[in-house]
């Protein structure tokens, strides 16, 4: 159990453009209703031509700092997790740190672990805070995911960013991080080789042996370790490659639909990879009451899952109003057609 780790500010960013599942299905002459039903998604978020992981991470992080009223210069560690870092070599984290005004005396690194690189950053900063090595750290999950045309991922690969400012002073906590546990293995369900623009996946192998095994194992080991049961939690958030998987794994673990429904941003933005479970968490934090327990489990292909137990504090309802909420980002949208989508994702 951790004693000195809490979220003192959080921020989100969802890009403006949306394309509906129906619009994509039309192009490939598929029945849109079938696809919407199978995936549980109606539309996904698309980045503007001038946005990428770095610009989105900057927006989300600015909001997190604003919520905490913390000057960026106090940050001592910054990690960005993404599978679409703009450079193969050249850290996104320092570009974002520089523009935020973090200063020079900080540690930073870029992380990659498919969709769970953001939560890996949370774990790393938690360790530094718990050990008293730093006072403030920023963990960001951000992605502008690419998908091959006509691949099933084309309906789900979305974009977004979520940032968490973590501290060790209990009196500042909006959300306390109580504990975490992970489950990792070498499971090749979804990957992308260096220099290749689109990821490849192993079809149905991404289900049971990959997503379900890792999420369930990480979740169950954390529940056992902390002696808690699903009924103890007000909310649960799981990584969302679509809307079906999180609902199924929630059921298997003993959580109810009501517990996970508020987190299912995937229905309207698709899967923003490293930001997926974290944006789901932000959606929950925007409605949670003080003193509630939240269960969060991310999943990254390759594969691994990070499970967290969080508890909200009295400070949360007041301070979360300072920055745009997920509901604001969801409302702020403009629909595009398929040719525009191809332009924006730089395929034409």
239 among known catalytic residues: yes
Rounded-to-integer distance, Cα 322 and Cα 67, Å: 6
Query: Helix, strand, or coil here: 219?
Result: helix
| 249, two tokens | 């794994």
User: Which residue, 101 or 290, is less far from other proteins as judged by CB?
Assistant: 101
Contact string 98-137 vs other proteins (x = CB under 8 A): xxxx------------------------------------
Rounded-to-integer distance, Cα 75 and Cα 328, Å: 27
User: Which residue, 195 or 203, is less far from other proteins as judged by CB?
Assistant: 195
83 among known catalytic residues: yes
Only segment of 46-54, 122-130, 166-174, 245-253 that touches other proteins (CB under 8 A): 46-54
Options 36, 51, 59, 115, the catalytic residue: 115
User: Min. distance of Cβ 50 from other proteins in angstroms?
Assistant: 4
212 near other proteins (CB under 8 A): no
343 near other proteins (CB under 8 A): yes
172 Cβ contact list (under 8 Å, min separation 6) = 6, 8, 68, 315
Nearest to 121 by CA among 85, 80, 160: 80
To the nearest 10°, report the CA torsion of 289, 293, 299, 305.
Answer: 160
Nearest to 44 by CA among 266, 263, 270, 239: 270
Selected binder of other proteins within 32, 48, 207, 254 (CB under 8 A): 48
Only segment of 32-40, 58-66, 199-207, 288-296 that touches other proteins (CB under 8 A): 58-66
With the C-alpha atoms ordered 24, 337, 144, 285, is the resulting torsion angle positive or negative? negative
User: Which residue, 86 or 318, is less far from other proteins as judged by CB?
Assistant: 86
150 among known catalytic residues: no
User: Min. distance of Cβ 58 from other proteins in angstroms?
Assistant: 5
DSSP alpha helix (H) spans, 167-312: 213-226, 244-253, 257-260, 266-269, 276-285
Query: Can you give the binding site for other proteins, defined by CB under 8 A?
Result: 16, 48-52, 54-55, 58-59, 62, 86-87, 90, 95, 98-101, 332, 334, 343, 346
Catalytically active residues, by annotation: 83, 115, 239
């Amino acid at each position: 159990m951790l004693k000195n780790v809490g979220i003192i500010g959080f921020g989100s960013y969802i890009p403006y453009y949306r394309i509906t599942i129906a619009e994509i299905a039309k192009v490939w002459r598929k029945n849109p209703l079938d696809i919407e039903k199978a995936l549980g998604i109606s539309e996904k978020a698309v980045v503007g031509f001038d946005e990428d992981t770095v610009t989105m991470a900057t927006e989300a992080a600015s909001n997190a700092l604003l919520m905490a009223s913390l000057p960026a210069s106090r940050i001592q560690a910054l990690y960005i997790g993404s599978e679409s870092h703009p450079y193969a070599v050249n850290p996104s984290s320092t570009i974002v740190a520089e523009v935020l005004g973090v200063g020079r005396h900080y540690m930073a690194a870029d992380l990659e672990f498919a969709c769970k690189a953001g939560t890996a950053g949370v774990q790393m900063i938690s360790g530094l805070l718990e050990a008293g090595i730093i006072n403030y750290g920023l963990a960001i999950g951000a992605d502008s995911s690419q998908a091959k045309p006509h691949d099933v991922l084309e309906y789900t690969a979305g974009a977004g960013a979520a940032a968490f400012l973590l501290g060790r002073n209990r009196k500042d906590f909006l959300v306390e991080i109580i504990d975490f546990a992970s489950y990792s293995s070498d499971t090749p369900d979804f990957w992308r080789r260096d220099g290749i623009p689109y990821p490849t996946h192993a079809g149905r192998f991404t289900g049971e042996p990959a997503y379900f095994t890792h999420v369930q194992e990480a979740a169950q080991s954390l529940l056992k370790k902390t002696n808690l049961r699903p009924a103890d939690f007000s909310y649960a958030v799981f990584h969302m490659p679509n809307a079906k998987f999180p609902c199924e794994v929630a059921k298997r673990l003993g959580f109810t639909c009501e517990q996970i429904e508020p987190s299912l941003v995937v229905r309207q933005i698709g899967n923003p990879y490293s930001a997926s479970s974290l944006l789901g968490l932000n959606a929950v934090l925007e409605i949670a009451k003080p003193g509630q327990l939240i269960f969060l489990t991310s999943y990254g292909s390759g594969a691994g899952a990070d499970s967290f137990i969080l508890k909200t504090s009295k400070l949360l309802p007041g301070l979360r109003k300072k920055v745009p909420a997920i509901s604001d980002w969801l409302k702020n949208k403009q629909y595009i057609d398929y040719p525009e989508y191809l332009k924006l994702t730089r395929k034409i």
